[in-house]
């Protein structure tokens, strides 16, 4: 079993925000040394004594406004092939979209652990709204704000437990 954690989901749900939170300064240091572009897709992170690699799948597609569904499907398939654990991110501010449902269908077919991360749950009101995402049917559902970091610790506890 590898130690790769992939973050998948449609554009603008906050995948890169979580990725940057996980990779943090480590990524900046790597980029400085290697002189590569800042827009990297793989980074290394550390939680509860475990080191793991994070993939920000959004990096595969540029210009997130008009991403084709096929491109997103490709990203999800890459994650299913490569990752040990998959974080499926959705956005409480939009509710469940058709594309969320489509990605959920794909992810239900893998044996690998899939953790649903309902993002942008910045306050108590949004916590209420977030309950609709239990309807996607993922046993491991987490509510977090990648912006503030609130709730991300509980998600990471289970991520590294599954590695």
Would you tell me which residues interact with ligand GDP (CB under 6 A)?
9, 11-17, 58, 64, 119-120, 122, 145-147
113 interacts with Mg ion by CB under 5 A: no
Q: Is 65 annotated as a binding residue?
A: no
What is the β-pairing status of strands 50-56 and 42-47?
A: antiparallel
75 interacts with Mg ion by CB under 5 A: no
16 interacts with Mg ion by CB under 5 A: yes
Q: Is 43 annotated as a binding residue?
A: no
17 interacts with Mg ion by CB under 5 A: no
Q: Is 113 annotated as a binding residue?
A: no
From 9, 58, 113, 151, residue interacting with Mg ion (rule: CB under 5 A): 58
Q: Is 98 annotated as a binding residue?
A: no
Tokens 């989901």 locate to 9
The per-residue DSSP string of 11-29 comes to TTSSHHHHHHHHHHHHHHH
Residue/partner pairs of 61-70 with CB below 8 Å, 24 or more apart: 61/11, 64/11, 64/12, 65/11, 67/10, 67/11, 69/99, 69/102
Contacting positions for Mg ion (CB under 5 A): 15-16, 58
Residue ranges at the known binding site = 9-16, 56-60, 119-122
Which residues are annotated binding-site positions for GTP? Answer: 9-16, 56-60, 119-122
């Amino acid at each position: 079993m590898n130690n790769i954690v992939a973050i998948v989901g449609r554009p603008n749900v906050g995948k890169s925000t979580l990725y940057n939170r996980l990779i943090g300064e480590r990524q900046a240091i790597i980029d400085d040394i290697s002189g590569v572009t800042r827009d990297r897709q793989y980074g290394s992170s550390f939680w509860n004594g475990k080191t793991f690699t994070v993939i920000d799948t959004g990096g595969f597609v540029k210009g997130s406004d008009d991403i084709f569904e096929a491109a997103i499907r490709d990203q999800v398939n890459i994650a299913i092939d490569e990752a040990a654990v998959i974080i499926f991110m959705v956005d409480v501010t939009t509710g469940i979209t058709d594309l969320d449902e489509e990605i959920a269908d794909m992810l239900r077919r893998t044996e690998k652990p899939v953790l649903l991360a309902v993002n942008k749950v910045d306050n108590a009101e949004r916590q209420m709204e977030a309950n609709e995402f239990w309807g996607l049917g993922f046993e491991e559902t987490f509510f977090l704000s990648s912006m503030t970091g609130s709730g991300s610790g509980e998600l990471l506890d289970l991520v590294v437990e599954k590695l």
